[in-house]
Structure 1
Amino acid sequence: MVAHNPTDGVYPATSDYVHAMEVRGAQRTLYISGTMGLDRSGKPGETLSEQLVLIWDNIRAILASAGMTVDNVVRQTSYLRDVSYAEENAAARVAALGGRSIPTTAVVVQTLERNWLIELEIIAAA
């Protein structure tokens, strides 16, 4: 994977994301559907922090089922119920990826269930 952050002709990326990620030599691509902060019984965490922990635990389990880890994540789209969730979501992503930056987009939406505060969509490559 090669990060691309051009400085000519485009605004600068911040430290928590890159403009583009080139994947070279990948043989497999995994597209993870929107994943919520639900426990194994389907109950959502009560706070955004709890839901973020559950989401990343769920994503790690899904990645493991494909023989991948968070090191294989190349793209994330976040669907936030409230704009105030953006900073905590970004911090959780940076922590989950061990400081590695990836292309990311955050969108504020109305979720299908009122107590779903965030949903993440992930693309991974190996």
Structure 2
Amino acid sequence: METVTHTPTEGVYPATGDYAHAIEVRNAERLLFVAGTMGLDPAGVPGKTLAEQLELIWSNLRAILASADMTVDNIVRLTSYLRDASYAEANAKARVAALGNRVIPTTAIVAETLVSDWLVEIEVIAAA
């Protein structure tokens, strides 16, 4: 599989350093669509803080990706659902750290989660 990042500089606003406008996936044999993943521990209990939930989310995503023989390096698209706009910076920092500074197309949306203790939910698309 090959990916080509597209961040045009003409005719569209510039992408910031932590995301790309688009990624073209070439010669992928498999796609994995991951449901919204919350910061819950194996017993289904949410982390007590935003930082704990972000850590759990990325741990959960790594486990889900591993079940498909993939890693975070296979993620080609990510959407974050934040319970509060003030979570955006911490969420972006956690994403950048988890992806090792690799930029991908991302979207962050402020939304009411189904359970008030769920502070962030992240869904991804991965390709291999």
Identity of aligned residues (%): 70
How many residues matched? 126
- Name the counterpart of 2:108: 106
- Name the counterpart of 2:75: 73
Q: Which runs of 5+ in 1 are unaligned?
A: none
Moved >4 Å (runs of 4+): none
Letter in 2 for 1:10: V
Residue among 4, 7, 25 paired with 1:2: 4
Residue among 25, 47, 68 paired with 2:49: 47
- Name the counterpart of 1:22: 24
Name the SS for the 2:116 alignment partner. Answer: coil
Q: Which runs of 5+ in 2 are unaligned?
A: none
Letter in 2 for 1:67: D
Name the SS for the 1:23 alignment partner. Answer: strand
CA RMSD for the aligned pairs?
0.3
Shift of 1:3: 0.4
Letter in 2 for 1:27: E
Question: Counterparts of 1:97 and 1:109 in 2: how far apart (Å)?
Answer: 24
The TM-score with structure 2 as length reference comes to 0.98
The TM-score with structure 1 as length reference comes to 0.99
